[in-house]
């Protein structure tokens, strides 16, 4: 665990340059705006540890899968979000010497991610080999107002000399992905243009033929006044720059303003990219840095007014929750139905930047409560757009009649995960998509989504489950063989409880909604049944039989659900027994892990989290007590589920322990992997841990329900939540809970067992006795 990041309510701060941990800090300081993003790399040349990363949403490359053997239905590629043109680059020479923080003497270094305003700032003093000292201050951001643009202010002040500084702002498209399977570069040059005050690089991806045009313009100030400058344009393969030579004086600042835009063929005609890029960057240049920064500040203020969580008495916890919210907000805005949320967002290459089941299981609830309804809806529409591909994925594995298996990993609907035990067996992902549809409809009461999109998806998923099970003559039940549950430290098991349960639940939910649709709108229902070629009598009869006869492994002695058949054959240890050997995924062989009882992330408990209303508290308690001590939490998705369940069961210390684990996972580098990028999708779990865990928020019978508790280390906490057109602020301290209705219509909510009316624009203060 690292602890060099300073605690601050609104900022992530590195004081003093930690070169050995620079790749970690680059991840933490990442910026984005939903359309583009970048790691917290330096603008100037750096020869030390660094992972360069600039990314354009939706642009990917199908890197050929690297495997030792091939099986029928195996994906041919692994989709990867590409390291795109480096638009932030500014090389600096001081009297002939290159500025490189890896080789010069650095002091007064400070790097700050300002989450309140959405900017990254850096300052330092550098002493070069020739004895020259300079003070440098930089600020940059990816605009969320002009969401295909970014801006940089780079200021240099000579401390002990007069002389010459050469600044070379550039665009470099000759980049590669660190995770390239075969070491190839993924971009071809289309066009380059270089001018005294700007440049343009247009690239095309190999195979997928995405075009991205990157344009830049720059201005120079000295002593606060804009100046004309001489420059030497540079043009190389996939690279343009402008070498600007400037005379400087001691203690007089020189400032370069650099503006850039990234436009892709996803949003513009290929033949218009150059003209549109030039038009866009000129508009940004005309606004100027200060106007852009002011707009950025106001846009982030509006976001925080809707989604902020305030924690008093624990600065580390406050910093953590805002960090998680900030990264979620700058990764996905919901404006484009073609986009989704990659596990690393715009912060790194690992996991390929593709879509996983994380979106439906963890991210959707965050966007339901903190954004306009269309944002969450678009996440579901994204899956509907991929339905035909999901049907094709299932057909490759031998399924028929419109059965759909959604991919474990995807960019365009095709499966592209390259591990057989995941690709073929971790099929519970289908259930998460069905559950997300239910979660969305329950939260929003959107009566149009199911008939327009949702029912078609549910039917296809249900058909998959109906074909994936088989009747066991021995058990006289339907069973599901050869699967991997959420706990990926088990592979190729029979009758994973969670998978079997969510399969039967999906069938039950789909049947209920189909029947309701037939009753409510027979004509529209007839169109759906015709479109899906649905045999209502035969298929519903089959599904009902599976629902009533699904095998769910259970241990009668302990009265707990069994993770899978044979689980009790393992040596049942607890994590305390291997405290000096964790994390086991970095020290144990895979064979040893698979034979152990240790659980990577919530599995049975994932199901009990989703479907807690279907079980009594004693059942939740027994299963939590049995499985949590065996859980090593070596997935970033694990702690939040345990925090929520611990809170529900009154295990306040455990809930807080799990909250800190999920909230500061990246800030403290718990799993020694933050250098690869942030765990974006699990960040939604941090929000869930506060709102559903400590806030006890649920939706019951079309109303919000709250049963909060206040962690001992906090003086108070407050969160904002949108629900069906209303915006509430819930503030919890040791004596009271104050519910403020910030909207223009009244709302009824439940506070423990009491139904409370909160009038429009009014507050309701409720007495609250902490246990």
Active-site residues: which are they? 488
The alpha carbon dihedral of 417, 418, 419, 420 has a sign of positive
Q: What residues contact 398, with CB distance under 8 A and at least 6 apart? A: none
Nearest-5° Cα angle at 354, 32 to 309: 45
Q: What is the DSSP letter of 11?
A: E
Q: Say how far apart CA 550 and CA 175 lie, in whole Å.
A: 52
Q: Say how far apart CA 466 and CA 249 lie, in whole Å.
A: 77
Phi/psi of residue 419, nearest 5 degrees:
-125, 120
Q: Say how far apart CA 21 and CA 29 lie, in whole Å.
A: 12
- Residue 270's SS3 state is helix
Burial call 399-432: b when 16+ CB within 10 Å, e when fewer: bebbbbbbbbbbbbbbbbbbbbbbbbbbbbbbbb
Are 13 and 25 within 8 A, CB to CB? no
Tokens representing residue 478 in the block: 């339907």
| Cα–Cα distance list, 241 to 142, 164, 192, 526 (Å) | 21, 19, 10, 62
Tokens representing residue 428 in the block: 């519970």
**Residue 264: its H or E element:** strand 254-264
Instruction: Report the 10 Å Cβ neighbour count for 538.
Output: 9
- Evaluate the omega torsion of the peptide bond into residue 583 and state whether it is cis, within 30 degrees of 0: yes
Tokens representing residue 483 in the block: 């699967």
Are 684 and 379 within 8 A, CB to CB? no
Q: Say how far apart CA 208 and CA 432 lie, in whole Å.
A: 29
Pairing type for strands 726-732 and 716-723 reads: antiparallel
Euclidean distance between the first and the last CA atom of the chain, given in angstroms as a whole number: 32
Q: What is the DSSP letter of 493?
A: B
Tokens representing residue 342 in the block: 């990659």
Pairing type for strands 133-142 and 119-127 reads: antiparallel
**Residue 456: its H or E element:** helix 455-468
Q: What is the DSSP string of 99-158?
A: --TTTSEEEEEEEEEETTTTEEEEEEEEE-TTS-EEEEEEEEEE-SSSTTEEEEEEEEEE
Q: What is the DSSP letter of 86?
A: B
């Amino acid at each position: 665990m690292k602890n060099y990041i300073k605690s601050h309510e609104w900022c992530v701060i590195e004081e003093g340059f930690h070169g050995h941990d620079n790749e970690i800090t680059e991840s933490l300081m990442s910026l984005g705006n939903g359309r583009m993003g970048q790691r917290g790399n330096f603008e100037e040349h750096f020869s030390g540890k660094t992972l360069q990363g600039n990314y354009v949403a939706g642009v990917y490359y199908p890197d050929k899968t690297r495997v030792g053997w091939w099986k029928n239905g195996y994906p041919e590629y692994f989709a990867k979000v590409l390291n795109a043109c480096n638009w932030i680059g500014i090389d600096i020479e001081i009297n002939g010497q290159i500025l490189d923080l890896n080789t010069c003497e650095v002091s007064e270094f400070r790097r700050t991610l300002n989450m309140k305003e959405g900017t990254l700032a850096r300052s330092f003093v550098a002493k070069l080999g020739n004895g020259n000292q300079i003070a440098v201050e930089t600020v940059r951001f990816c605009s969320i107002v002009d969401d295909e643009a970014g801006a940089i202010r780079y200021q240099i002040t000579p401390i002990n000399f007069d002389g010459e500084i050469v600044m070379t702002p550039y665009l470099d498209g000759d980049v590669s992905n660190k995770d390239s399977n075969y070491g190839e570069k993924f971009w071809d040059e289309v066009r380059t243009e270089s001018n005294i005050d700007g440049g343009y690089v247009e690239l095309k991806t190999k195979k997928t033929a995405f075009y991205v045009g990157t344009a830049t313009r720059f201005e120079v100030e000295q002593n606060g006044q804009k100046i004309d400058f001489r420059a030497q344009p540079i043009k190389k393969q996939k690279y343009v720059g402008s070498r600007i030579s400037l005379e400087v004086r001691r203690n007089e600042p020189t400032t370069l303003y650099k503006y850039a835009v990234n436009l892709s063929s996803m949003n513009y005609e290929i033949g218009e990219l150059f003209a549109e890029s030039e038009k866009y960057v000129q508009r940004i240049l005309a606004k100027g840095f200060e106007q852009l920064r002011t707009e950025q500040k106001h846009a982030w203020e509006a976001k925080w007014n809707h989604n902020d969580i305030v924690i008093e008495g624990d600065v580390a916890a406050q910093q953590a929750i805002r960090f998680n919210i900030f990264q979620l907000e700058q990764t996905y805005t919901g404006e484009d139905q073609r986009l989704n949320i990659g596990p690393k967002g715009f912060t790194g290459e690992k996991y390929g930047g593709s879509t996983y089941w994380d979106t439906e299981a963890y991210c959707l609830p965050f966007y339901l409560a903190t954004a306009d309804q269309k944002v969450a809806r678009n996440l579901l529409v994204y899956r509907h757009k991929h339905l035909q591909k999901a049907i094709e994925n299932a057909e490759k594995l031998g399924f028929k009649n419109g059965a759909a298996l959604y991919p474990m990993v995807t960019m365009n609907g095709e499966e592209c995960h390259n591990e057989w035990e995941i690709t073929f067996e971790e099929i519970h992902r289908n259930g998460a998509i069905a559950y997300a549809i239910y979660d969305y409809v329950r939260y929003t009461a959107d009566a149009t989504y199911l008939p327009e999109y949702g029912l078609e998806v549910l039917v296809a998923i249900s058909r998959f489950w109906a074909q994936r099970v088989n009747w066991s003559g021995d058990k006289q039940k339907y069973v599901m063989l050869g699967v991997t549950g959420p706990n990926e430290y088990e592979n190729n098991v029979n009758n994973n409880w969670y998978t079997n349960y969510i399969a039967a639940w999906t069938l039950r939910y789909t049947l209920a909604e189909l029947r309701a649709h037939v009753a409510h709108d027979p004509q529209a229902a007839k169109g759906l049944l015709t479109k899906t070629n649905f045999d209502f009598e035969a298929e519903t009869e089959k599904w009902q039989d599976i629902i009533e006869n699904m095998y769910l492994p259970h241990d009668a002695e302990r009265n707990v659900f069994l993770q899978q058949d044979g689980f009790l054959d393992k040596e049942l240890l607890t994590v305390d027994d291997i405290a000096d050997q964790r994390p086991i995924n970095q020290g144990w062989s895979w064979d040893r892990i698979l034979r152990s009882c240790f659980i990577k992330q919530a599995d049975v408990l994932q199901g009990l989290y989703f479907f807690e209303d279907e079980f009594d508290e004693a059942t939740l308690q027994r299963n939590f007590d049995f499985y949590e001590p065996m859980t090593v939490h070596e997935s970033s998705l694990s702690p939040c589920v345990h925090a929520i369940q611990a809170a529900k069961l009154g295990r306040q210390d455990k809930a807080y322990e799990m909250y800190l684990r999920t909230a500061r996972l990246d800030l403290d580098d718990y799993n020694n992997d933050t250098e690869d990028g942030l765990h974006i999708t699990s960040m939604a779990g941090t929000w869930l841990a506060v709102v559903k865990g400590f806030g006890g928020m649920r939706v019951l019978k079309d109303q919000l329900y709250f049963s909060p508790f206040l962690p001992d280390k906090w003086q108070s906490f407050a969160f904002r939540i949108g629900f069906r057109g209303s915006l509430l602020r819930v503030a919890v301290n040791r004596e009271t809970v104050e519910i403020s209705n910030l909207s223009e219509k009244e709302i009824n909510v439940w506070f423990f067992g009491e139904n409370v009316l909160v009038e429009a624009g009014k507050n309701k203060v409720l007495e609250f006795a902490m246990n």
